Structure 1
């Protein structure tokens, strides 16, 4: 099969550090953290500015990946991204914003990489917005939708833990919960329901959640090793480290664990913490 070659240049070649970050020019009148659409303005098209960047957004840069940032809010087709919004509504938040901030790594010779963060903010006393919940997808994904789903799942799990007393009387009662400081997750014990089918389903959910977290951890480790290998092949240095967390509402990414790590499992809680 004939493949298009990149004008005689090495497709693995990039600039002095990997990845090369080139930001889009800021839109006048809009700060970096603002969503693309104002929900209070009925004259705006809900789809304006919300689509993932097309191939025409930037020219392909054969010298290295191009980084762009896009914003996603509220109604998004997959079911998981809707769940944090529905959970906040159950908690009676009068006004809030959910913004999915994705960093897209593009290279003409490589598949896309999406690194996703979800920011939940509420109005503050100064009429601006304050982040109260910032969570990161555990690994990069090739598709924008998968990255959003992973970030939403992280936000949902930690939201359910932070508001576990309120969630106990809602349909979210048996959702997995996890503290941002811990690797393990827990699910409420369904014995009081006296429903064998529910108990069996919850047991399976706990196992599935454990396996899914382990699979994402392994995927992230493989992706990181792949990035290191490409960087060494290109110019003999490792990729740049992540920037430190500065936002007080921003929790670090969940630490990685191996599949058989007992501290990383999802268990059924048999007592109130």
Structure 2
């Protein structure tokens, strides 16, 4: 089921699984939309209503817009939080999960919006990130070459092998990735233009769980920004997912769903004043 929220004339579409009580909102990063996160939603063993945001630039949501920035995404998310928190039985706020770029957007929104009850963040990223690929992505964007954009993000940002990309190109997944690459150059540019105030993350009052794929611990491109963010958030609980990388939503959605539910259970019991730490 799809629901729509409108901000300044731009439609923001969300998938919706019905449930009871406080909503859970998933915020995907680049090269992903609600459809690609549906296997995780299907595996979530929670009775909460679950929403997945199709961020702007993903159909059926509206376009990025002329003045696109991380601030645009944050304002969008705050508008969605306003809408999801209006029902009487949802006065306790919204549980927010963010992945990658979506994790950064969720962090920034949590600094501004009082309706975030808890945060679960899977390898959030921050600048500098993927700068070595930005020129190639801009060239692919100018040429309208979505195949090249998919190749660049997998090879030059995520660091996958040429063999992996060749196999990916032969799979049905490639056709799903092509339209998701359309906003990629502008999203990556916006990420790298956004100045992060790390100390502000450390003062967030809600329970926070940071999820890290064990294969990325301490390694670029995802482990390094994770380490910087987690160091700035000493009260956050860090959970390592053994054997996982950055794409558990696609490669092992059941395991990721289990870690998300565990984080929600912990958050619902959590006193935010208690130091959690690495597990």
Give the number of the structure with larger relative contact order, counting CA–CA contacts within 8 Å between residues 6 or more apart: 2
Q: Which category describes the TM-score, using the shorter chain as reference length?
A: under 0.3
TM-score (norm 1): 0.27
Larger radius of gyration: 1
TM-score (norm 2): 0.26
